Amino acid sequence: MTLSAIWSPVRVAWSAENAPSDLAIGNAERLMVALAVSGHLPDWAGRGDWPTVCLNWTSAKIEIEVFDDVYELCQFSPEAHSTVMVVEYAATPSGIGDLVSAMRFNDQLQPG
């Protein structure tokens, strides 16, 4: 799958031979459009253990794993690398809205 222009500011860390599924990439692109509007594009993206997309921010302890049908928001403790909270959101327009809203209230991701 050819990546759209939304990926241009994001460092993509997967090869064509080891890429996430087309569905996961499409879901990630739809999420990234919403994240761009809110000023929260990830710094880099990698492939998860499944053929998923993992969106990562260097400035925050957050990762979003994008599956074929859901988004999984993982927020990590600032003191350690242990997961504090994992919440799933449907890969739908309302799920994207809920996910972006949840991230906006995280003071680590407030645009500055």
Break the chain into its structural domains and give their ranges.
20-105
What pLDDT does 111 receive?
43
Helix (H, G, I), strand (E, B) or coil at 77: coil
In the structure, what pLDDT confidence band is assigned to residue 48 with cuts at 50, 70 and 90? very high
pLDDT of residue 16 exceeding 80, the answer is yes
Element (H, E) at 103: helix 93-104
In the structure, what pLDDT confidence band is assigned to residue 2 with cuts at 50, 70 and 90? confident
Contact indicator for 60, 106 with CB cutoff of 8 Å? yes
* Structure-derived torsion over alpha carbons of residues 28, 30, 33, 38, reported in degrees to the nearest 10: -80
Q: If DSSP states are collapsed to H, E and C, what string results for 83-100?
A: EEEEEEEECCHHHHHHHH
**pLDDT tens-digit profile of 61-101?**
789 999 999 999 988 776 665 657 789 999 999 999 999 88
Mean pLDDT, residues 38-66? 91
